[in-house]
Structure 1
């Protein structure tokens, strides 16, 4: 299972936009959850809800020193068999913001009960991502995730789309994906202005090209589906969220 988390763009800002040709190509060639919703604003509550089944009282984007979360998460559920790949992070499990690295986009850094594992499994994203873990969380930097405008670029969407056009083919060409046992979920933490309706795409060998589901899903559905496929118990609100498995043939 591989998750890629993008930032702060609503569904209708992305789908159909000429600034995001690769993402729209994926929507035609893979699966699109057309009625998928984030949980809250700002960013961090969504990352915590996605990985633990609830926002755990988090309502802001403060650092791990302000939110020491000793609760179960998808990371603790799989023991040491996970990896978080963070673009522009300088040191493993980095606890503070640093240039283009935003710790609020790195949920593993907030869970105190996995801190010893985080030191070796929460690592910088490299040109050749390691995908041998059961669960992999990919975090682009704040330029490539569409959060901010990169130097030399006028379009957050186009910059993020170009990043995805480089990294997704690497993931699809990996031995893990080609084995037929890997699913990739691409989603956005929250929408931009207006409703919290966000794009979520499902890339897997079993997905019928062009599949589009209009079932209402949320971030808790993504956690539910991941836990279901990994064979671990459901956490918090993921337990009652609808699974995405049947909709996309997973």
Structure 2
């Protein structure tokens, strides 16, 4: 997805490296960060994850990449409050950034594969995982 090598050969290792990549002269086209198990809400109170995002998200949105290029931040949790019981296990997900509709609440129904389908549509990729993202709805309603 990118021809620009990340700061580290294995990609950003922590928040500082992640933010450095966002503020670099030629950042990668796709940058992923998975918080540690304390900050991601597993094994800690929800207020810990909230404090983590309250500190990190403004830094992301104020980064050089987000101020100067078409960029979008996607935050999603891997599970919801209903112990993965479909169709009642809804998860929090949010798009933010300069290319995202502001003050908008989606009306569609999406799965984790919808994120992959959204990337595929944006970059004109073919379906990567047959029977999963091939059938998922891309989250295009969040973009003007």
**2:64 aligned with 1:186, yes or no?**
no
**1:223 pairs with one of 93, 96, 116:** 116
Count of aligned positions: 132
**2:47 aligned with 1:158, yes or no?**
yes
The answer to whether the Cα contact below 8 Å between 1:82 and 1:134 also exists between their aligned partners in 2 is: no
**1:170 pairs with one of 59, 82, 92:** 59
How many Å separate the matches in 2 of 1:179 and 1:79?
18
Q: 1:153-207: CA deviations, max 9, x gaps?
A: xxx2110011001111111011111124101100011223343310110102133
Greater RCO (CA < 8 Å, at least 6 residues apart): 1
| 1:204 matched residue in structure 2 | 97
How many Å separate the matches in 2 of 1:175 and 1:79?
18
Matched position secondary structure for 1:186: strand
Q: 5+ residue gaps in structure 2? A: none
Matched position secondary structure for 1:121: coil
CA 1:238–1:81 in structure 2 vs 1: closer, same or farther (change >3 Å)? farther
CA 1:211–1:126 in structure 2 vs 1: closer, same or farther (change >3 Å)? closer
**2:27 aligned with 1:138, yes or no?**
no
Matched position secondary structure for 1:135: coil
The answer to whether the Cα contact below 8 Å between 1:172 and 1:178 also exists between their aligned partners in 2 is: yes
Measured after TM superposition, the shift of residue 233 of structure 1 is: 2.0
| 1:232 matched residue in structure 2 | 125
Normalized per residue, which structure has more strand? 1
**2:138 aligned with 1:243, yes or no?**
yes
How many Å separate the matches in 1 of 2:47 and 2:5?
30
Q: 1:82-110: CA deviations, max 9, x gaps?
A: 75x9xxxxxx7xxxxxxxxxxxxxxxxxx
CA RMSD of aligned residues (A): 2.2
Measured after TM superposition, the shift of residue 80 of structure 1 is: 5.5
How many Å separate the matches in 2 of 1:161 and 1:139?
15
How many Å separate the matches in 2 of 1:198 and 1:133?
28
Instruction: Give the TM-score, by structure 1 length.
Output: 0.48
Query: What does 1:93-104 correspond to in 2, within 5 Å?
Result: none
Instruction: Give the TM-score, by structure 2 length.
Output: 0.80
The answer to whether the Cα contact below 8 Å between 2:2 and 2:28 also exists between their aligned partners in 1 is: no
